[in-house]
Amino acid sequence: MEQTLIILKPDVVQRGLMGEIIRRIEQRGLRISGMKMQWISRELAERHYGEHQGKSFYEPLLAFITSAPVVVMLVEGPQAIAVMRAMMGKTNSSVAAPGTIRGDYGLSNRHNLIHGSDSPESATREIALFFKPEEIFSYQRVTEPWTDPDAAW
């Protein structure tokens, strides 16, 4: 079972899209094993986006991600990283495909609605930044054998 960190960014919270995006994740068959709303501090944002330090978009990115509350989720499932990134769509929302989260709800490159880990290594690092072990819940949904391609019958 692969894990990924998902952040519903301030524009999702401000526009009232949290429920719709959570619904999409659950209906796809992925499991939310941790979820909380928080206001990301500048310090946490700097640690999370550290690889972008020095780039032209770094300061605007930090200003945006700290501008309002976000919803942080640990999402699990078969190939959760690839599945979530496909659901998210291209980073530049104005060219993201219809049917993706960014393609359906976004118009901006900077205010692009959602963050998802891009690799298992990033997911491990990012999950540890946002979740304590006691905030992660291990459980199995009764629908999982119907959505897991490796489920044994």
pLDDT digit string (tens) for 77-121?
Answer: 999 999 999 999 999 999 999 999 999 999 888 899 999 999 999
The CATH number of 2-137, from 3.30.1180.10, 3.40.50.11740, 3.30.70.141, 3.40.50.720, is: 3.30.70.141
pLDDT reading at 23 higher than 70: yes
3-class secondary structure, 81: helix
Asked if the model's pLDDT at residue 152 lies above 70, the reply is no
Confidence bin at 150 (pLDDT 50/70/90): confident
Q: Give the separation between CA 101 and CA 130, rounded to whole angstroms.
A: 22
More confident residue, 75 or 54: 75
Residues 76, 126: Cα–Cα separation, whole Å: 14
pTM of the entire predicted model = 0.93
Mean pLDDT (the chain, rounded): 94
- Span 127-146, average pLDDT: 92
Q: What percent of the chain has pLDDT over 70?
A: 98
Active-site residue among 48, 52, 111, 115?
Answer: 115
Q: pLDDT band for 153, please (50, 70, 90 cuts).
A: low
Res 9: pLDDT: 97
- Quote the pLDDT of residue 129: 97
Q: Kindly give the residue spans of alpha helices, DSSP state H, lying in the chain.
A: 10-15, 18-28, 42-48, 58-65, 80-88, 101-105, 120-130, 144-147
Domain parsing of the chain, residue ranges: 2-137
Catalytic residue at 52? no
